[in-house]
Chain A
Amino acid sequence: MSATTAGATWRVVIAEDDPDIRALVSIAVKRAGLDLVAEAVDGGAAFEAVARLHPDLAVLDVSMPTMTGLEVCRAVRADPTLDTVRLILLSAGVDDHAKALGLAAGADEYYIKPFSPKALAARLTDLMEDSK
């Protein structure tokens, strides 16, 4: 993608129905130096934003109204024009089964809440650096 090859920062869509956590994720994204292009409050809006904006990364909550994070992942992976979008799932589910389901739905990474904003920011920075 031109956005990354040009040395410009990643464009990121985040989706989370809980406003406080959404704010926490957006802080982590900003601290990692990424470009937050859209914040969605439900799964439907998240997919719509991803499909419209073609971001480099989407950070999605698993449990959301209208579409779950898993459904958004599947929908994105079903669309060939979106195959460069990296997907990160954030979940309050704890067991390994939930993680396996998330990865099977097409997510690249799966994090369990509660997450450390600092650690998430560091991980996002790493991801972006690695892809260059």
Chain B
Amino acid sequence: MTTSVRAYARAMKRLSVDAPVIKQLPTFIAFTAALFLSLGFRSALVTNLFSLTLATVVMLGATVLAAHYSRLSRPSRWFLLVPGISMLAIALLRYATGGTTSLFASLIILPVVWISAQPGRRWVGVAVLGASAALLLPYLIDLRWPDTPSEWLRGVFTPVVYGLAAVVVNELSRQGRRQVRAVRRLALEGEKLLAESLKVAGQLQENEVQLRAADRLTRSVLDGVTEQSVIGSDLTGLIDVWNPGAREMLGLTSREVQGRRYVSEFHLPEELDERSRELNYPPGATVLNPGFSALVESARLGRAEVRDWTYVRHDGARLTVSVAVTPRVDDNGETIGYIFVGTDVTHALEVARLKDEFVGLISHELRTPLSSILGYLELMRDDDESPLSVEQLQYLGVAERNAHRLLRLVGDLLFTAQVSSGKFPLTISQVMLGETISAAVLSATPGAVAAGVELITELPADELMVRGDAVRLGQACDNLISNAIKFTPRGGRVTVSLEHRGGEAVVVIRDTGIGIPESELDQLYARFFRASTATRNAVPGVGLGLTITKAIVTAHGGELDVESEEGVGTAFIMALPLPQVAVAS
């Protein structure tokens, strides 16, 4: 469609160029016809053969000039020489065929029309003057004035008549040009409008393609989530998004659900009621659909919420699902619905339960034989009837020590399992930290003496009290002190200090031991991690002590930090928050 319009516009443009050779064509044909006629009746018509030849040459020249101007890419005003020269040729023809009596004087009308059709009235004058000059040429050549009135008439009046005709032609062609210009303007405007609408259409098409691509992306993301249910609803809970994960989890297709079911239909009413009560919704009619409101309460307030809910499948089966609820907003930020992303944690919960069960069982099964071993070893040691020799008592001590070590290990394992499953019981009371540290140092002293390590305690004059589990805090101190002794070579020193720093009680256990490589400091609290310096120096241990210590300190709202330099020593800094009102002296 556009090409045809453009071709039309191009044609309109070419019309205004008006190839001079085309305009010359009628004059040329008429002249040629007159020439043949003259030659055919030479005796009757031709009075001057030289003039006829000259006329022919001039006419050919004019036509060649016309052809030349037609070939120019930019039109030139000088092409008007063509009708001028043609007038001269016609004048010569007229002179050659009887002068004032020539049959061919009327040919002059053709160049007159051409010239007077030019825009501008002045060209009428030019045409009339040219025609007059041409018709009066015989008198100019013969250098005489016309004799008779009829000659005057033919030489002067005829050009005036032609001039009148030229005025009419000029006016007509002016109007014609105006119309052409109008048509061309309209065509250009039309073309511009068309181009613009085409551009808009193109943009629309592009937008549509982008929209479709975005839609496809959203759809494939939703479809790609097969292990989680993604459910979308409006403000009332009516479902409008239902991904394959939801189909898998709840047993219904999107066709069966979208626009037909409500989110709350897949929940246990009791759970929703309970949550409504927790949120203190007034009973009954004041809250529309309290169950659903309870479900989206946090999202409604603009917060994302993750909570375990029971989903009821289509077939009645129940699943524990961790559901994240987020609001959907429109362009203005108004909430227009909610998105529920659910992860089935039924299996994970079962695994966690089995793990707890397993750890409990293992712990029990290990402690029972250890109870026998330790109990009977004690009976042997306390047998008054047949006392053991010193050597036997020494062997018994080794067995007892190792049985206790095994027992501690079982306890630590159980404890780390409790920590990792989040079941970490603390018996909270007021704990006198100085006393706890003294007790830990006291119990570590025999080991320090045996290892040849000096054990120094630096306690403040005032007792520092924290809220916490005395047994667990003692365990943390025990672990850190026994570690320090374990990793300090004979002749070294372990300093245990306590001080009140800011709002915290800070316990520092500093040794002059083998140190920990800097690259390993961040792995220190991982279960079963052992520093390379520990394994290289064959220091015994399994890598649970620091895991447990860190868990204990964290559970008390405190922080455990470490500073260490290989070959120089290590300091563990345990900072525990003090109650707001300091208990001192």
Q: A-side interface residues toward B, CB under 8 Å?
A: 18, 20-21, 24, 27, 63, 92-97, 113-118
Across the interface, which residues of A come within 8 angstroms of B418, CB to CB?
A: 95
Docked-complex contact A94 and B372, CB < 8 angstroms:
no
Docked-complex contact B371 and A115, CB < 8 angstroms:
yes
CB closest chain-B residue, reference A100: B425
- Chain B 400-424 per-residue mask, 1 if CB under 8 angstroms from chain A, else 0: 0000000100010010001000000
Docked-complex contact A21 and B364, CB < 8 angstroms:
no
8 pairs of residues in contact across A and B, judged by CB atoms under 8 Å: A20-B376, A24-B379, A92-B371, A93-B360, A93-B364, A113-B367, A113-B371, A118-B382
Docked-complex contact B411 and A94, CB < 8 angstroms:
yes
Docked-complex contact B368 and A18, CB < 8 angstroms:
yes
Shortest distance between the CB of A21 and any CB in chain B (Å): 6
Whether, in the assembled complex, B202 has its beta carbon less than 8 Å from a beta carbon of chain A, the answer is no
Across the interface, which residues of A come within 8 angstroms of B367, CB to CB?
A: 92, 94, 113-114
Shortest distance between the CB of B358 and any CB in chain A (Å): 15
CA distance A97 to B423 in the complex (A): 11
Closest 10 interchain pairs by CB? A114-B371, A113-B371, A92-B367, A20-B372, A24-B375, A114-B374, A92-B364, A117-B375, A95-B425, A96-B425
Across the interface, which residues of B come within 8 angstroms of A93, CB to CB?
A: 360, 364
Across the interface, which residues of B come within 8 angstroms of A114, CB to CB?
A: 367, 370-371, 373-375, 407
Docked-complex contact A21 and B414, CB < 8 angstroms:
no
CB closest chain-A residue, reference B379: A117
Across the interface, which residues of A come within 8 angstroms of B427, CB to CB?
A: 96
Question: How many residue-residue contacts, CB under 8 A, span A and B?
Answer: 52
Across the interface, which residues of A come within 8 angstroms of B368, CB to CB?
A: 18, 21, 92, 113
Most buried by A among B375, B379, B411, B425: B375
Across the interface, which residues of A come within 8 angstroms of B407, CB to CB?
A: 114
What DSSP secondary structure best describes chain B's contact surface? Answer: helix
Shortest distance between the CB of B119 and any CB in chain A (Å): 111
- Chain B 464-495 per-residue mask, 1 if CB under 8 angstroms from chain A, else 0: 00000000000000000000000000000000
Shortest distance between the CB of A125 and any CB in chain B (Å): 15
CA distance A118 to B383 in the complex (A): 11
Docked-complex contact B378 and A118, CB < 8 angstroms:
yes
Docked-complex contact B414 and A94, CB < 8 angstroms:
yes
- Chain B 547-564 per-residue mask, 1 if CB under 8 angstroms from chain A, else 0: 000000000000000000
Whether, in the assembled complex, B363 has its beta carbon less than 8 Å from a beta carbon of chain A, the answer is yes
What DSSP secondary structure best describes chain A's contact surface? Answer: loop
CA distance A115 to B407 in the complex (A): 12
Shortest distance between the CB of B417 and any CB in chain A (Å): 11
Across the interface, which residues of B come within 8 angstroms of A97, CB to CB?
A: 425
CA distance A96 to B429 in the complex (A): 14
Docked-complex contact B411 and A21, CB < 8 angstroms:
no
CA distance A115 to B367 in the complex (A): 11
CA distance A91 to B109 in the complex (A): 137
Residue from B363, B378, B382 in contact with A94 in the complex, judged by beta carbons closer than 8 Å: B363
CA distance A94 to B371 in the complex (A): 13
Across the interface, which residues of B come within 8 angstroms of A118, CB to CB?
A: 378, 382
Shortest distance between the CB of A39 and any CB in chain B (Å): 16
CB closest chain-B residue, reference A18: B368
With A94-B411, A113-B368, A114-B370: A21-B425 Cβ-Cβ less than 8 Å: no
Across the interface, which residues of B come within 8 angstroms of A27, CB to CB?
A: 379
Q: A24-B372, A96-B425 are in contact. List 4 more A-B contacts (CB 8 A).
A: A20-B372, A24-B375, A118-B378, A118-B382
Across the interface, which residues of B come within 8 angstroms of A21, CB to CB?
A: 368, 371-372, 375
Across the interface, which residues of B come within 8 angstroms of A20, CB to CB?
A: 372, 376
With A20-B372, A114-B407: A92-B363 Cβ-Cβ less than 8 Å: yes
